[in-house]
């Protein structure tokens, strides 16, 4: 056999060496990761570092709060910290926790004139449990490992607070950390193996002691739920206090028109005066009574106090009349004209204010007894028209108020159901139009103080927000009018007119569409309203 044939024989070849891949043989898995994997590792490590830094900053705020001087006011429920942390919430539903954190920190410690005083200091910082310690409790309740949290931004805001507290306290965070009181650790109990085992005689003695104890205090060792152990001494040491947890009392109702009574086994009873009585064996064995606390309506003393105004019940006579109109009779006699909603008869009263002022500005108010006399003589027992609500706002036409009310309640939005920031802007914008207020009403200091006093959770709109909200409401009402016109089955009468302001400054042109519904109701809608520019009213420009 030739050497070549011997070499080619598979049975005589050397066995093939098989080896695992290098990344499997490397116990430390030292193979370099890919770029994408390394990016994920770096991002994760950065978030972990930021979360650790935030935890250190929160601890620094807690330590520095103990060194705030008496010149810093004690926190109360009327301060901004309590109001913001209990009422202010975020707007972003997808990142609610991060949005709430940013809104609350911006309201309290933002770099603006509201949070910094004339000296450039954060003047909303307070001492005590309702001060910065309340902020610490809120910060510790946040899940900082949530993906939605912007840790770098949060770290910058907390760093600003820590630096301000260092300035106010005159102490660095490191010194405050060292001076923070530390609680003594609990004394460790001896392990079971160090406890000497009992002899058979000791075991028998312990069994006899148990029998005597069960005879004296029956049910205690058998899980009797009626047994209550003796209360411990109130003077506890620090170590003893660590072994007990104080139960928090449930908050009681703050309604001044409610009082509490006890109901024992379904029978109302006045709580007996407190007295110490020795416990007896029969008392321990008796089942505890069923005690409930129910609310009982009581007459408030504030309701009995008169707040001013006329005596007697409130009159509803004005609800039967259209809002008063300022008129001038022959000879310059100024009068208020009330038109009856039932018979269209006008009853007038003396007017002493200008024609542009409202009836509420009349001082003293005229005697309106003739309104009630007319109702008793001509319309006795006739109810108030259904399209009038008691206490309807006066000073604007009833038709305008009804259109706005239909839009806000029956139409696109019901504030009682959809209590959101967007709907609040709509209500606010409607108020601006109805009362002829400035678009900057929401930016005035007075209304800001009012909303702060009420602890309202809604933000006040700026003039730009009011303008944009009105534009949105116009688009919605425009579609409503279009649908109303499309549903009309009768003829539509269109009237056009122009008028000028008293100072001859502005001229307007308007078109009103009127029609009769299938229920024989007259409907009027403004379909066009246009301010006329210079010379635009002339024929060649029409």
pLDDT of residue 87: 87
What the block records as the tokens of 421 is 């920031």
The contacts of residue 500 (CB under 8 Å, 6+ apart) are 506, 507, 508
Q: Assess whether 358 and 492 both reside in one domain.
A: no
Q: Is 183 exposed, middle or buried, given 0-12, 13-18 or 19+ CB atoms closer than 10 A?
A: exposed
> If you average pLDDT over residues 253-281, what whole number do you get?
55
373 shares a domain with 491: no
Query: Is residue 92 domain-shared with residue 133, that is, in the same domain?
Result: yes
- The pLDDT of residue 303: 44
On whether both 364 and 460 belong to a single domain, the answer is no
Residue 222 lies in a domain: no
User: Is residue 8 in some structural domain?
Assistant: no
Q: Does the pLDDT of residue 406 top 80, yes or no? A: no
| Boundary of a domain, candidates 179, 204, 234 | 179
Measure the CA–CA gap between 403 and 202, rounded to whole angstroms.
93
Examine the domain organization and report whether 363 and 449 are in the same domain.
no
- The CA distance from 335 to 353, in Å, is 10
Instruction: Report yes or no on 311 lying in a domain.
Output: no
How many residues are recorded in the chain? 542
Between residues 180 and 374, the one the model is more confident about: 374
pLDDT at 261 over 80: no
Q: Is residue 65 located within the same domain as residue 172?
A: yes
350 with 406, same domain: the answer is no
Q: Are 338 and 349 in contact (CB under 8 A)?
A: yes
In sequence order, which ranges of 170-306 are alpha helices (DSSP H)?
173-179, 200-216, 238-241, 281-285
* DSSP SS3 for 541: helix
Residue 311: pLDDT band with limits 50, 70, 90: low
Q: What is the pLDDT of residues 235-251, one digit of tens each?
A: 544 444 444 444 444 44
Asked if the structure places residue 486 within a domain, the reply is: yes
Q: Report d(CA 341, CA 321) in Å as an integer.
A: 5
- Over residues 25-30, the mean pLDDT reads 54
Q: Is the bond into 364 cis (omega within 30 degrees of 0)?
A: yes
Domain count, the chain: 4
Q: Say if residues 496 and 510 touch (Cβ distance below 8 Å).
A: yes
**Choice among 80-84, 94-98, 169-173, 337-341 with the minimum mean pLDDT:** 94-98
- Same domain (yes/no): 57, 136: yes
**Res. 112: pLDDT tops 90:** no
Query: Is the confidence at residue 269, as pLDDT, over 70?
Result: no
User: pLDDT digit string (tens) for 456-498?
Assistant: 888 999 999 999 999 999 888 888 888 888 888 889 999 998 8
420 backbone dihedrals φ, ψ, rounded to 5°? -120, 170
- What is the Cα–Cα distance from 469 to 440, expressed in whole angstroms? 13
Torsions phi, psi for 333 (to 5 deg): -80, 110
Q: Does 327 share its domain with 418?
A: no
Average pLDDT, rounded, for the chain:
74
Whether 212 is in a domain gets the answer no
Cβ(526)–Cβ(532) below 8 Å: no
Extract the tokens encoding 423: 């709907």
The reply to whether 74 falls in a domain is: yes
β-bridge mates for residue 192, sequence order: none
Residues 329 and 430 in one domain: no
- Selection from 526, 527, 528 nearest residue 399 by Cα: 526
Q: Is the pLDDT of residue 289 over 60?
A: no
Tell me what pLDDT residue 305 has: 42
Residue at which a domain ends, from 163, 179, 195 = 179
Instruction: Work out the average pLDDT over 203-231.
Output: 62
Give the SS3 label for residue 72.
Answer: coil
238 found inside a domain:
no
- Helix, strand, coil percent values for the chain (each to nearest 5): 40, 10, 45
Strongest mean pLDDT among 168-172, 395-399, 409-413: 168-172
At residue 332, does pLDDT exceed 80? Answer: no
pLDDT band at 1, cuts 50/70/90? very low
The domain boundary residue, chosen from 179, 204, 237: 179
In percent, how much of the chain has pLDDT > 90?
11
- Assign residue 303 a region (left: φ > 0; alpha: ψ between -120 and 50; beta: otherwise): alpha
In angstroms, rounded to a whole number, what is the distance separating the alpha carbons of residues 148 and 434?
A: 42
Measured in degrees and rounded to the nearest 5, phi and psi for residue 38 equal -65, -35
Alpha carbon distance 496, 529 (integer Å)? 10
Instruction: Name residue 264's beta-bridge partners.
Output: 267, 291
The pLDDT of residue 304 is 44
What is the model's pLDDT at position 470? Answer: 92
Q: Are residues 149 and 259 in the same domain?
A: no
Domain contains 307 = no
Dist. CA 385–CA 295, nearest whole Å: 38
**Domain of 362, in residue numbers:** 317-378
Whether 416 and 483 map to the same domain: the answer is yes
What single-letter DSSP state applies at residue 77? Answer: T
For 232-312, list the strands marked E by DSSP: 258-264, 267-269, 291-297
């Amino acid at each position: 056999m030739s050497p070549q044939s011997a070499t080619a024989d598979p049975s005589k070849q050397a066995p093939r060496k098989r080896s695992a891949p290098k990344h499997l043989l490397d116990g430390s898995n030292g193979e370099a990761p890919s770029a994408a994997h390394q990016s994920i590792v770096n991002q994760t490590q950065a978030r972990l570092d930021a979360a650790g830094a935030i935890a250190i900053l929160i601890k620094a705020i807690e330590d520095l709060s103990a060194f705030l001087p008496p010149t810093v006011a004690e926190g109360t429920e009327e301060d901004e910290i309590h109001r913001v942390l209990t009422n202010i919430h975020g707007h972003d539903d997808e990142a609610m926790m991060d949005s709430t954190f940013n809104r609350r920190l911006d309201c309290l410690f933002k770099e603006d004139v509201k949070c910094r005083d004339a000296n450039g200091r954060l003047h909303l910082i307070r001492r005590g449990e309702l001060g910065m310690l309340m902020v610490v409790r809120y910060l510790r309740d946040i899940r900082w490992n949530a993906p939605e949290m912007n840790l770098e931004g949060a770290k910058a805001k907390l760093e600003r607070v820590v630096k301000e507290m260092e300035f106010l306290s005159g102490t660095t965070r490191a010194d405050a950390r060292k001076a923070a009181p530390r609680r003594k650790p609990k004394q460790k109990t001896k392990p079971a193996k160090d406890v000497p085992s009992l002899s058979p005689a000791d075991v028998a003695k312990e069994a006899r002691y148990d029998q005597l104890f069960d005879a004296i205090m029956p049910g205690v060792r058998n899980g009797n739920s009626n047994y209550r152990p003796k209360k411990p001494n109130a003077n506890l040491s620090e170590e003893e206090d660590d072994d007990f947890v104080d139960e928090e009392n449930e908050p009681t109702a703050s309604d001044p028109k409610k009082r509490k009574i006890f109901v024992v086994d379904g029978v109302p009873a006045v709580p007996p005066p407190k007295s110490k009585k020795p416990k007896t064996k029969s008392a321990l064995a008796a089942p505890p009574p069923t005690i409930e606390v129910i609310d009982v309506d009581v007459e408030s003393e504030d309701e009995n106090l008169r707040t001013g105004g006329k005596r007697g019940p409130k009159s509803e006579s004005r609800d039967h009349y259209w809002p008063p109109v300022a008129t001038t009779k022959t000879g310059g006699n100024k009068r208020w004209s009330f038109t009856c909603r039932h018979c269209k008869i006008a009853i007038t009263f003396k007017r002493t204010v200008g024609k542009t002022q409202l009836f509420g500005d009349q001082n003293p108010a005229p005697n309106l007894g003739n309104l009630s006399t007319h109702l008793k003589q001509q319309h006795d027992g006739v109810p108030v028209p259904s399209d009038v609500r008691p206490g309807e706002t006066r000073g604007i036409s009833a038709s305008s108020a009804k259109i706005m009310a239909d839009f806000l309640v029956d139409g696109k939005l019901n504030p009682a159901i959809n209590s959101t920031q967007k709907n609040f802007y709509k209500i606010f914008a409607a108020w601006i139009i109805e009362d002829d207020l400035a678009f900057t009403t929401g930016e005035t200091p007075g209304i800001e103080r009012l909303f702060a006093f009420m602890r309202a959770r809604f933000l006040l709109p700026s003039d730009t927000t009011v303008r944009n909200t009105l534009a949105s409401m116009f688009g919605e009402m425009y579609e409503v009018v279009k649908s109303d016109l499309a549903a009309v089955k009768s003829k539509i009468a269109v009237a056009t007119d122009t008028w000028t302001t008293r100072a001859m400054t502005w001229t307007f042109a308007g078109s009103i569409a009127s029609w009769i519904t299938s229920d024989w109701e007259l409907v009027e809608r403004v379909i066009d309203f246009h301010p006329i520019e210079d010379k635009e009213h002339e024929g060649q420009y029409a």
